[in-house]
């Protein structure tokens, strides 16, 4: 592992140690975030799968009836029948914060009070298959909305989990080892400097001592 | 409006418009989507990927949810991924009259793969 390109000084050492502490704390927090996000995501995605199966079955059923209705009725009649919906749906979007992922919450409200009042046409000129299709779609609608909410949440959370996982890995396998190695390198370098300074001083002292002894021998022969 | 649709950047506020009063829509071939008109969803007819892309860019900011038939969604996959990181609109594939292609389920599996690394919920 490559070490950082820094001067081996005490100041750098202190800085690096501080950075390492921060990196370790960040790593721990991000790991916790990833685990919790993952837990929530798994819950949500299981529900997503079940709901999707249900919704797909419902829509398929509605489509089958619709196809029959369209084949027995004239195109214009079908359009006229469905042109003016009885119910108008409006949606208000809230947001929920899950581990700093902002996911949308859809709240739907129907304009007409009577939820059973779903047929926007008289029964005289329409096929009964059209009724069935409308009934199926109306039944599946709350699930459709829930599916939209959950599926969007899953997508957003999946993206966030991926990002968090990358960050955790980068910290764990790149940043932290790099800091550790650099700290080790600086420490060894500083120790080495200290040892060489000590040796030099000893050597100098030795030389001075020898000189002094030589001078004394010269100046004061026995 | 078109500019907003073209530049979904992360720094923008969560909702560019009021969060309320957003609409619900269904996009796809006419046969598949007309039934949804009866329950008050807006109809966005588009027969192929190019049409759908154009339409989607024009209306994306007004809609909270747009259900798209799987057949159409498959044709405009690249466009759909542009909206993946935005909270709205939620683009949800549904089966059309031509049947269920399994695209919706594959998308769910793709999310799992993205998050976990492999699809651990396969066949459960």
The whole domain housing A159 covers: 23-170
Cα A194 to Cα A188: distance, rounded to the nearest angstrom: 10
The answer to whether the beta carbons of residues B93 and B80 sit under 8 Å apart is no
Interface A-B: count of C-beta contacts within 8 A: 148
A32 found inside a domain: yes
Check residue B41 and report its DSSP letter.
Answer: P
Q: Worst-scoring range by mean pLDDT, A55-59, A109-113, A200-204, B5-9?
A: B5-9
Number of domains in chain A: 1
A147 found inside a domain: yes
Which residues make beta-bridge pairs with A80? none
- At B98-114, the pLDDT tens digits run 777 788 888 888 888 88
Looking at per-residue confidence, does A126 or B82 come out higher?
A: B82
Q: Counting Cβ atoms within 10 Å, is residue A3 exposed (0-12), middle (13-18) or buried (19+)?
A: middle
Confidence band (pLDDT; 50, 70, 90) for B34?
A: confident
Cα A201 to Cα A34: distance, rounded to the nearest angstrom: 55
To the nearest whole Å, the CA of B3 is away from the closest chain A CA by 22
B19 found inside a domain: yes
A177 found inside a domain: no
Q: Mutate one of B13, B32, B39 to test the A interface: name it (highest A CB count within 10 A).
A: B39
Question: Does the distance separating the beta carbons of B22 and A102 come in below 8 Å?
Answer: no
Nearest by CB: B64 against A67, A93, A156: A93
Please report which helix (H) or strand (E) contains residue A20, including its range: helix A10-72
Chain B contact set for A111 (CB, 8 A): 40
Q: Which of A87, A140, A135 is nearest to A112 (CA)?
A: A87
B111 found inside a domain: no
- According to DSSP, the β-strands at A101-110 and A89-98 are antiparallel
Confidence band (pLDDT; 50, 70, 90) for B11?
A: very low
Q: Tokens standing for B106? A: 């594959």
Chain B contact set for A120 (CB, 8 A): 38
- The verdict on B95 touching A (C-beta cutoff 8 Å) is yes
Q: Tokens standing for A176? A: 């932290």
Please give the angle made by the CA atoms of A211, A214 and A218, to the nearest 5 degrees: 140
Percent of chain B having pLDDT more than 70? 81
Question: Does the distance separating the beta carbons of B67 and A144 come in below 8 Å?
Answer: yes
- At A93-144, the pLDDT tens digits run 888 888 888 888 887 776 665 656 667 676 767 777 777 777 888 888 888 8
Q: What is the CATH number of the domain that holds A160?
A: 1.10.287.3240
B123 found inside a domain: no
Q: Tokens standing for B24? A: 């619900």
Q: Mutate one of A35, A36, A87, A91 to test the B interface: name it (highest B CB count within 10 A).
A: A91
Average pLDDT over residues A150-154: 89
The whole domain housing B59 covers: 2-98
B43 found inside a domain: yes
- The verdict on A73 touching B (C-beta cutoff 8 Å) is no
Question: Does the distance separating the beta carbons of B14 and A119 come in below 8 Å?
Answer: no
Question: Does the distance separating the beta carbons of B21 and A90 come in below 8 Å?
Answer: yes
Cα B15 to Cα A45: distance, rounded to the nearest angstrom: 25
Cα A173 to Cα A178: distance, rounded to the nearest angstrom: 9
Chain A contact set for B61 (CB, 8 A): none
A77 found inside a domain: yes
Number of domains in chain B: 1
Cα B67 to Cα A52: distance, rounded to the nearest angstrom: 13
Average per-residue pLDDT for chain B = 76
Q: What is the CATH number of the domain that holds B56?
A: 3.40.50.10580
Cα A108 to Cα A55: distance, rounded to the nearest angstrom: 17
- The verdict on A88 touching B (C-beta cutoff 8 Å) is yes
């Amino acid at each position: 592992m490559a070490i950082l390109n820094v001067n081996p000084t005490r100041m750098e050492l202190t800085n690096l140690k501080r950075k390492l502490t921060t990196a370790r704390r960040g790593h721990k927090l991000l790991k916790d975030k990833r685990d919790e996000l993952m837990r929530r995501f798994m819950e949500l995605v299981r529900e997503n799968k079940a709901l999707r199966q249900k919704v797909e079955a419902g829509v398929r059923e509605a489509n089958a009836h619709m196809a029959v209705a369209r084949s027995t009725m004239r195109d214009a009649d079908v359009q006229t029948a469905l042109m003016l919906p009885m119910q108008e749906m409006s949606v208000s979007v809230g947001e929920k914060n899950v581990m700093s992922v902002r996911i949308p919450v859809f709240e739907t409200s129907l304009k007409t009070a009577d939820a059973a009042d779903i047929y926007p046409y008289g029964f005289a000129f329409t096929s009964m298959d059209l009724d069935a299709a409308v009934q199926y779609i109306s039944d599946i609608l709350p699930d459709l909305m829930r599916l939209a909410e959950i599926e969007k949440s899953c997508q957003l959370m999946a993206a966030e989990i991926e990002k968090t996982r990358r960050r955790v890995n980068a910290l764990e396998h790149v940043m932290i080892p790099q800091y550790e190695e650099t700290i080790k390198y600086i420490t060894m370098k500083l120790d080495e400097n200290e040892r060489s300074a000590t040796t030099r001083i000893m050597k100098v002292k030795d030389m001075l001592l020898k000189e002094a002894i030589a001078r004394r021998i010269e100046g004061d022969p026995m | 409006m078109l500019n907003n649709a073209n530049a979904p950047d992360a720094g923008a506020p969560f909702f560019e418009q009021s969060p309320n009063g957003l609409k619900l829509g269904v996009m796809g071939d006419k046969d598949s989507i007309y039934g949804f008109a009866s329950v008050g969803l807006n109809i966005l007819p588009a027969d192929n990927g190019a049409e759908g892309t154009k339409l989607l860019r024009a209306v994306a900011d007004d809609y909270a949810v747009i259900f798209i038939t799987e057949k159409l969604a498959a044709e405009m996959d690249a466009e759909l991924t542009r909206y993946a990181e935005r909270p709205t609109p939620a683009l949800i594939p549904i089966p059309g009259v031509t049947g269920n292609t399994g695209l919706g389920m594959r998308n769910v599996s793709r999310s799992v793969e993205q998050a976990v690394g492999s699809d651990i919920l396969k066949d459960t």
